[in-house]
Structure formats: C-alpha cells, structure tokens
Amino acid sequence: MTETITAASAGTWRLGDLTVNRLGFGAMRLTHLADGSPSDRERVTGVLRRAVELGVNHIDTAAFYFSPLRSANELINRALAPYADDLVITTKVGPGRDAAGHWWWAEPGQLRGQVEENLRQLGRDHLDVVNLRVPRRETSGSVAEHFGALAELRTAGLIRHLGISNARPDHLAEARAIAPVVCVQNPYGIGSPAEDHAFLDACGQQDIAFVPFYAIAGAGKESGAAAEDSPDVRALAEAHGVSTAQLRLAWTLSRGPHVLAIPGTGNPDHLVENVAAGSLRLTPEEVALLDSL
C-alpha cells in the first residue's frame, strides 16, 4: 500500500509566531470552475476537509472570492469550523466586489469594514494574517495610509499579523517602517522576470515569507494552467514521473525555505497531487535549468 504524502513533506516556515507547512491551499477555485460554472458545494467542502487531513494548515482566502452561489470564506467556515488550533487562515483586503460582482477599491477608512466582513464570514474573532492587496504593482504609489489603517486594527486585536500582496520592494520597505510584515504574496512562477527572482531572494534575507500565486497557472492566471508548457518543463516532469503542475510547485518551493505554496483546486485528485509535490526534490542542475526559462 502506497503511503500517503502529507503537506509536512514540504517543511515548515513561520508567519510571525505561527508555524505552517510550506505547502498550503488557495481558496480562489472553491467557488467556481475555470469556465465560470458553479462548483459543487459538497465536493469542495470535501476538498477542504481532505486538505486538512493531508496536513495543510495554511489556507489563503478573501471575502471577494465569491460567485452568485458560493463564498469561499463561508465554505471554509462550513467545512472546517470549529478550526484546529494549528490552522492559519490568511486573507486579503483592499479590493471589494458588490453583489453584482463589480470591483471597487477600499479607502483606508473602509478597510475595517472589509476585515469585519472576513471575520463574520469565517466565524472568527480575529484574523491570523491579513494582506494588503496593492491595486497595480507597476503604477501604485504609497501604501502607507492603507497599511497604517491595518496596523491600527492589528493593535486593536482584530488582526494578528500583516502582509502585502501584488507589491514592489519599495512598498515592502514602506510597510515595514509602519509595522512588522510577515509575508509578501505576489504573482510568481517559472518564467518570471529577473526582478521578481531578486525580490523573492530579498524577502528571504529579511526573514519574510514569499507566497507566490499563479505558480501553476502562469500566464493563464484565473483561467487555469497555461495550455503550453515548454519542452524543458514537460521533459523534466516526465523524467520525474510527475505532472507539469507538480514540477512547477516543486520548483517554486526549491527557491528558498521561506517560499510557501498555495495551489488552489476544487478537484480532490488534484489536491492529492499538489500536496505530493511538496516531497519532490529537484537537483541543483534541474533548478538552474528551470530558473533560466
């Protein structure tokens, strides 16, 4: 009988005083399928419970992860409450969506309402980690006012730890001057530009977790995995007897002990594959090859 691989095989890292397995779970895909059709409630509830059984103790979510029929936070609440003591739930604020699904961006004074909405949906009295999502990484200016508002909520006890998402190095420096930052959550994967590799490395030097999103999907983003993997990626995956998605996750984790993975899925088989990717070890030569793509 084959032994089940758990999330512990990827090792651990710290988000402030909270220790998590480096292989986590992203909740974005719980509410709907890649084609926009609604997810099956019982199936995705089962996926969440199975993730925790497999040792996942870091779940990334947001109040704006919802479809006309599903809310990721409320699915998490339904599946996992009362929550295990070691389960860390990370959420994001800044963006909002109205009932029709139209996007809006919070002013600093509106962030408390977004935090309280996450608390209500999740059934929590505080949030473990809240990331401030920056609207446009390339062009957004100062984050000080927004991050300062979250720092006040941390002091008030509504938030335990703070992070930033879709951010630049100068945003991180600005935030750290206001309050401790435990993580940076940015788009990142094979083929990312040199400045993104450098930012990941800089986070490690500052003892800050780097949490890539779209690590599997790449350019496909919300629509799912890119249709075409490079021949090098396909060949290396075949050599290891794994999928290209598993190879991408393994490479992501190889980039440093401070890198956390949060692959999302509503498919129980993909969940098991994603968790198993945490046990795949690439040689320095294989990592260098993938770095160069």
Q: Which residues are catalytic?
A: 65
> Exposure pattern of 139-150 as b/e (b: 16+ CB <10 Å)?
eeeebeebbebb
What is the enclosing helix (H) or strand (E) of 202? helix 194-205
| CB neighbour list of residue 71: distance below 8 Å, 6 or more residues apart | 31, 63, 65, 121
Contact 125, 86 (CB under 8 A): no
| Distance, CA of 139 to CA of 148 (rounded, Å) | 20
Rounded to whole angstroms, the Cα distance separating 132 from 183 reads: 10
3-class SS at 249? helix
Helical H segments across 34-88, by residue range? 41-53, 72-80
The Cα-based distances of 220 to 43, 187, 227, 229 in angstroms read 24, 12, 8, 11
Give the tokens for residue 161.
Answer: 């730890």
Q: Is 130 helix (H, G, I), strand (E, B) or coil?
A: strand
Which residue is it, tokens 């993975």? 261
The residue type found at 89 is: I
